Structure 1
Amino acid sequence: MKKGNLIAVALFLVAGLAHGQSYNTAVGLRMGTEWGLTMRQRVYKNYAAEMLLQSSLQREETQLTILGLIHKPILTRRLNFYYGAGFHKGWADQLEVNYEDPWGIDFIAGLELTIGSINLSYDYKPAINLKGGEQTFYSQTGISLRYVIWKRDKYPWEQNSKKKRNKGKGGLFGIFK
């Protein structure tokens, strides 16, 4: 189990180097039926990826969850409804339980608000264990409090189209400026 936790933490940290709404990267804590760490990363426009590393308060296991999310702004890009799906892998404390390590699929839906460098979200996350686990279906609710470590910058595909049209113009045959 210690080796599994070490691998999960390493994946969580490496994902922080990759490129989710009024921010690009936010990390923090998730509190609810499960407690742990959360990282949300903007991938493209209204698409994000989230990684959760949690310890259960109800079961003797640690779980890594990776989710793909779609954000829909409500009134402003700082207030979003989001939904998505992904998968999880758990590591049960084999000294305490008599079931296999769980793995399966997850779904999620929630609301998030970003004010300054603080991102707050509330969501519902049902999960289905395809193999292992104490039970086949379980659900979580949680509040995540994240700190925005990388504010939203425009990616090249989001730049002003007027700048793109003027790029390279001027000078002799558009070669020299």
Structure 2
Amino acid sequence: MKTIPTAFFILLIPFVLSAQKYNTIGGLRIGDDFGISFAQRIANKSTIELNLQPGTFAGRQMTALLVKQHYSLLTKRFNFFMGAGAFSRKIPVSGIDIPQQNSSQGLH
């Protein structure tokens, strides 16, 4: 019975590994609310990423701008990254009569 998940994982690896090569990419983000993400390669192993979460469903607004440096593990496309950036976040405060929001800004 364990062979089915193992076989699925082995068949999925080539698609995951090939997904790491891009110059410009965008996509949907699913976390505590929905959002969009854009990434652009700015140097050989460096990318800049913009994450936008408008707070459509849960009311949690977030904007983040990140710079990442990628490091190869097994191949050029299988890597890990480290980075830093700035963010701004607004989270609604519930349980009070007047709607308010807690705001936070900072560095990652």
Report the TM-score, using the length of structure 1 for normalisation: 0.41
Q: Cα RMSD over matched residues?
A: 2.8
Structure 1 residue 44, shift from structure 2 partner? 0.5
Runs of 4+ in 1 over 4 A off after TM superposition: 91-95
Q: Specify the code of the residue in structure 1 equivalent to 2:30.
A: M
CA contact (8 A) 1:33 1:56 kept: no
Distance 2:50 2:92 in 1: 21
Bigger Cα Rg: 1
Q: What 5-or-longer segments of structure 2 have no aligned partner?
A: 1-19
Report the secondary structure of 2:99's partner residue. coil
**Structure of greater relative contact order (alpha carbons < 8 Å, 6+ residues apart):** 1
Task: Give aligned pairs, total.
Answer: 85
One-letter amino acid of the counterpart of residue 97, structure 1: Q
Identity of aligned residues (%): 30
Is contact 1:60-1:96 (8 Å) kept?
Answer: no
5 Å matches for 1:4-153?
22-55=21-54, 60-91=59-90, 96-99=99-102, 101-106=103-108
Distance in 1 of aligned mates of 2:37 and 2:99: 26
| Cα distance in 2 between the residues matched to 1:36 and 1:50 | 13
TM-score normalised by L of structure 2: 0.63
- Could you list the runs of 5+ residues in structure 1 that have no partner in the other structure? 1-20, 107-177
